[in-house]
Amino acid sequence: MHFAVYVPLLAPLLLLPCLRLLAPQLHPRFASWLLMITMVALGLGSTASLAILTAAGLVKLPVAQLTGRWSAELLAQYDAVGLPVGVGAAAGLAGSVVACGYTLARWARALNRARRELGEVAGDAAFTVVPDDTPYAYTLPGSRGKIVVSSGMLRALTTAERRALLAHERAHLESRHDLIHCLAMLAVRLNPLLVPLRATLSYTIERWADESAVRDTGDRPAAARAIGKAALAARAGSRPPVGSLAAAAGPVPRRVQALLRPAPVLGLRGLLRSFVGVICAGTIVMVVGSGLATVEAASDLNRALETSEVAG
Amino acid sequence: MVGHGAPRQEPDAGNSATPNRRGPGQLEAEILAALWAAGEPVTAAVVQREVGPDLAYTTVVTILSRLRDKGVLARVRTGRAYAYVPIADEPGLAARRMRRVLDSEADRRTVLARFVSDLSSADELLLRAVLDESVPPEGPSPSEGRGRGGQD
């Protein structure tokens, strides 16, 4: 079997470090798109690889030859994969497709359940306040998405900070980040090696919404303070923190730090001129390369089947 | 006063531009949010001062009336003026139930997009350090982060 067929399956191992290096350098919107497209491409490529491996493995089965369509001796010359690999690939393929269906169904069910309950609340209103001292805020996704904020959260923020919060949540709805999350979720089911990228994507999506909020409100510091206050308010009442700052910073401090710095400018144009752009180009080449590898492996198999066909 | 420390926060927004033109939906949301943050009935004049010095008074009154028609706020008489107060009612409590329903599921993380994720202890330390650095020297604002939240 041509080595090419394994490329999409293993590509995440190479791409993971590249993308994690790259993502913080890019504007979060661009980074999010790049991550999502990469994950989907590799997920589909992995599925294609598994399908090819399944076909190549099953082709060795006596059953395939019983149909009389292919010659056993000619097929033996084709360096196909062993039967165990074929069966393993078939299991992986079936498993990932089932996992996708299950994930989608569960997601849809949870979403509908939340919508139904909140539907009684909000009616047509896109913005709902819940009388609750616990501070929280979130969006319920969908084409008619809803923003839900507790009164405790609203009381903890100033006018400018509330504005930033609402703009952030609105950005999630307008840019349909729920769909991006869903696609990433499915891609991970198709190739579990992509799991670490999901966290990276979640972060860049939040940063994307933060930058959109700043663009709408024109107030960068207020957005930073809103996030900081919201996070600290949610922790109020828990024990005072102890310990060192040794561990890598989590998403909330990083978001606040990013907003206290000037806006990221590295979009497509700046990218093409920088070292970061080289890594980015390399990443894209790898993704495209694994796609081509899949195509190569498929035609390799096809050729072998054709040449093994019994005449007449 | 609408919002906590609003009068002393607004001046530091000297580096913040007037917000871009806001759609009606956004204005309704901001005004409703301001009413909830106030914790007491406020007049239209106060709302206008807090939410939008760039807004016309009549615009603010129109939006307040529209919200009142939707049943999310009530109008009370204070002296010679009308003041507005948000309504906490059955639908709001239903939303609280919904949150508890989803909180028990692992799906919550996938279905809802939360504004901020949970903070670890280390993150809390780092966050306080970052925020304290960024706060201007004058004003009691540094005290805001400490143990304050969801208060009344």
Contact A200, B96 (CB under 8 A): no
List, for residues A171-204, the tens digit of each pLDDT value. Answer: 999 999 999 999 999 999 999 999 999 999 999 9
A127, A151, A253 member nearest B123 (Cβ): A253
Q: Is the pLDDT of residue A258 over 70?
A: yes
Residues of chain B with pLDDT under 50: 1-17, 139-152
A114, A125, A133 member nearest B111 (Cβ): A114
**A26 pLDDT band (50/70/90 cuts)?**
confident
Beta-bridge partner residues of A140? A146
Q: Is the pLDDT of residue A222 over 90?
A: yes
How far apart, in whole angstroms, are the C-alpha atoms of residue A98 and residue B44? 57
pLDDT at B12: 37
Hey, is the C-beta of B74 within 8 angstroms of any chain A C-beta? no
Percentage of chain A lying above the pLDDT 90 cut: 36
Contact B150 A228 (CB under 8 A): no
Q: Which residue of B has its CA nearest to A224?
A: B131
Residues 6+ apart with CB under 8 A from A123: B91
CB pairs under 8 A between A and B: 263
Nearest of B1, B73, B5 to residue B40 by alpha carbon: B1
List, for residues A267-280, the tens digit of each pLDDT value. Answer: 666 666 666 667 77
Nearest of B36, B49, B4 to residue A152 by alpha carbon: B36
How far apart, in whole angstroms, are the C-alpha atoms of residue A17 and residue A37? 16
What is the per-residue burial (b if ≥16 Cβ within 10 Å, else e) of A173-196? Answer: bebebbebbbbbbbbbbbbebbee
pTM of the model: 0.82
Q: Most A CBs within 10 Å: which of B127, B128, B130, B144, as the mutation test of the A interface? A: B127
Mean pLDDT of chain A: 83
The whole-angstrom distance between B42's CA and the closest CA on chain A is: 14
List, for residues A280-301, the tens digit of each pLDDT value. Answer: 777 778 778 877 877 887 887 7
Long-range contacts of B134-141 (CB under 8 A, 24+ apart): B134/A221, B134/A224, B134/A260, B136/B12, B139/B8, B139/B12, B140/B5, B140/B8, B141/B5, B141/B8, B141/B9
Q: Which residue of B has its CA nearest to A209?
A: B115
How far apart, in whole angstroms, are the C-alpha atoms of residue A206 and residue A250? 13
Hey, is the C-beta of B143 within 8 angstroms of any chain A C-beta? no
How far apart, in whole angstroms, are the C-alpha atoms of residue A142 and residue A110? 13
Nearest of A167, A135, A124 to residue A234 by alpha carbon: A135
Phi-psi region of B143 (alpha: psi -120 to 50; beta: other; left: phi over 0): alpha
Show the CA angle centred on residue A165, arms to residues B137 and B106, nearest 5°. Answer: 120
**A75 pLDDT band (50/70/90 cuts)?**
low
What is the per-residue burial (b if ≥16 Cβ within 10 Å, else e) of B97-119? Answer: ebbeebeeeebbebbbbbbbbeb
Nearest of A5, A294, A89, A39 to residue A191 by alpha carbon: A39
What six digits make up the tokens of A152? 């405790």
Contact A169 B115 (CB under 8 A): yes
Q: Is the pLDDT of residue A214 over 80?
A: yes
Q: Using a CB-CB distance cutoff of 8 angstroms, which residues of chain A are in contact with residue B97?
A: 117
ipTM, interface predicted TM-score of the complex: 0.77
Q: Is the pLDDT of residue A249 over 50?
A: yes
B6, B108, B117 member nearest A252 (Cβ): B117
